[in-house]
Amino acid sequence: MPCLSSPQDTHTGTHTTFLLSCSVSFHRLIHPQFTSGYTPIHRIAPDRSPFAFGCCRRRWWFPQPRRSGMRASGFRRLAPFLLVLAAAAVVDASYRGGDHNFHRDFDVVWGEGNARFRDGGRLVELSLDERTGARLQSKERYLFGRFDLEIKLVPGESAGTITSFYICTGGARHDEVDFEFLGNVSGEPYLLHTNIFSDGKGEREQQFVLWFDPTQDFHTYSILWNPHNIILYIDGTPIRVFKNNAAYGVPFPTRQPVHVFASIWDAEDWATQGGRVKTNWSSAPFVATYRRYNVSNACVWDDDSRRRCLGPEESSSVGRRQPSWMAQRMDWWSWMTLNWVRMNYMAYDYCEDRKRFPHGFPAECIIPIGQT
């Protein structure tokens, strides 16, 4: 389904298609046949994280998390420090983002009255009320790049709301990479929902509990997309990787340029605890704040179907110059931190949902995660 559809819901039988989001398959996660129970969140995200906030020991409930067979080791004892050092070691690209300006670089494609530009366009507030939400779309299109955005999520009561940051091509066979933050009742945590579409195929949902309160301050969410892999980061810490395994029959986005999107919208039918908790409109408007948008490391797609790549350059094997981020892959440090995030903060992984895939997992789930 194209990302650019109009903001409305259509219902067909037992399936619901939300035209505000390209993540059309998420309803399967909260369909009864895929929700076999609930598990207290302190079993998913124990308070070992250096970023944990004071209420981590409360019993928060989410769909059944993955059951990892990994065994505890000395790595667990060192892992909290890895997150700190990994975040400190990565220079936050958003601080180097030049003079990017939301008002200049984006169009308000839905809910114009609910997008408020502040600080000369360097910050934007997107709000949701009973009338409408809001969505921004970048004026430029990009074929590969690193996309950084700082977000402070809706504080307090946010059940039924979704705040998002994603890249998407549009079209029936679209490519897309999603950060979607599912709101919750006051005092309970957000759930980060991620999905990756390639050649129109999605159903690659992974969900995470965050190791910090995303409503108290800004945090940097990043998408690195190059011909080798797609890597999702939070404050420089990798949380998900999708390798280019086209050689194994897994489609990988390489041909279609994307727009960058930011939005807030109502999805009370499924967003919070499977739709059991509805949007409390007495708490509206719900406001999410975005700043420090950075695409200084990206390839702009021009009107002549050519790309113009930005960022530090390095020599390629054929002697031409290419941006260094274009060849970036996961190193051993990144794999260690990613592994720790998966063990402690992953709440759902489609690659372990046998009820959803009774006849066999998708091909990319069978290929070892580090294989190229």
Q: Active-site positions? A: 176, 180
Distances (CA, A) of 251 to 141, 216, 298, 364: 21, 38, 21, 10
Q: Which residues pair with 139 in a beta bridge?
A: none
Phi-psi region of 206 (alpha: psi -120 to 50; beta: other; left: phi over 0): beta
Q: Which residues pair with 165 in a beta bridge?
A: 179, 262
Q: Which residues pair with 301 in a beta bridge?
A: 141, 307
CA distance 329 to 332: 10
The three-state secondary structure class of 28 is helix
CB-facing half-sphere around the CA of 154: CA atoms within 13 A: 33
Give the rounded distance of the alpha carbon of 297 from its chain centre: 19
Whether the bond into 368 is cis, omega within 30 of 0: no
Which letter does DSSP use for residue 213 in this model? -
Residue closest to 158 by CA, chosen among 52, 267, 58, 54: 267
Buried b (16+ CB within 10 A) or exposed e, 203-226: bbbbbbbbbbbbbeebbbbbbbbb
Q: Which residues pair with 147 in a beta bridge?
A: 223
**Alpha-carbon torsion (326, 205, 180, 65), positive or negative:** negative
Phi-psi region of 360 (alpha: psi -120 to 50; beta: other; left: phi over 0): left
